[in-house]
Structure formats: C-alpha cells, structure tokens
Amino acid sequence: MIDSDILLLAIVNMAEGVKNLIGDKGAKAVMRDAGKQAGPRLLESLIGHFPENLPKEEALRRACIILEDLGFAQSIKVEEGKVITEEDVFTDAIVGEDLMNSPVVYFFAGLIEGFVSFMSDQRVILIPENVERGRIIFKHN
C-alpha cells in the first residue's frame, strides 16, 4: 500500500512540473480542470449516483463536509461568500514560499467545484484570496 504522504508529495510535485512545462497561468487552469474532473468521479465512486439536485449553496456546504471527512483538511467551512480551510493537506507540501501561485491550490479549488457540480446543476467558482501554510481562504460566487 502506498503511503498517503508520498502520494500527496507526488501530486504537489506533479502540479509544479506542469507549471514548469506550460507556465503559471496554464498550470493553474489545467490543475483546476483536473480537480473539476476528479471531483465528480471521486464522489461517484464513493456514493454512486446522487439522487437529488441541490441548490448551489447546499451543494457547496455538503462538498466541504465530505472533503473534510475524507481528510483533505481538518476543517472546511463556508462563511459569508468564502470557503475557509484549516490544516489542509496541500499547503504544507508546497515547496517554496509562493503558496498563492501554486497550481495545487487550484487543483483543490477545482476538486471542490467538481463536488458541487456533481450535486447541483449550478457551478461555483473558487478564487484563492489568501493562502498560508495550513490555511486557504477561497472567495466564491
């Protein structure tokens, strides 16, 4: 069985490799889209077909609960137009100090967006507002 910390480092390093290959903006877009594609597939493998169509805000709230339960962060809350993560798994694995521009942050945003799209017919877009080690604040529409 592969160690989850090793897998996490591989994902973070892959994201940085994409950045080195196609540039900052391209890597952010690719990693966000990868998260959007992975989110619904992950949820479907966990719970199967989702039986209802939720309003966007409820889908976002549930997505945060599920991702928290899966261990992506110790806490993921929706508050006043923001998604606040505490003790997330990604920021501690990012090498360097430019956390805000790490493509893996956009992968995490895309993962949340993908979860929402699985549960709702509406889209949510998350934009990193503040990124520190162990804490990400996304604003959302």
Query: How many independent structural domains does the chain possess?
Result: 1
C-alpha distances (whole Å) from 133 to each of 80, 125, 137 are 22, 22, 11
Could you tell me which of 31, 14, 1 has the C-alpha nearest to residue 108?
Answer: 31
Q: What is the span of the domain harbouring residue 15?
A: 4-140
Length of the chain: 141
Q: Predicted confidence band at 8 (pLDDT cuts at 50, 70, 90)? A: confident
Instruction: Judge whether 136 and 108 are in contact, CB under 8 Å.
Output: yes
Report the predicted TM-score, pTM, of the whole model to 2 decimal places: 0.93
CATH (domain of 89): 3.30.1380.20
What is the predicted pLDDT for the residue at 113? 98
Percent with pLDDT over 70 in the chain: 99
**Mean pLDDT, rounded, for 13-37:** 94
Query: Which residues lie below 8 Å from residue 113, measured CB to CB, with a gap of 6+?
Result: 32, 35, 36, 39, 123, 124, 125, 126
Rounded mean pLDDT of the chain?
93
Specify the DSSP class assigned to residue 133. T
Q: Predicted confidence band at 1 (pLDDT cuts at 50, 70, 90)? A: low
pLDDT digits (tens, 9 = 90+) for 36-86: 999 999 988 988 877 789 999 999 999 999 999 999 999 999 999 999 999
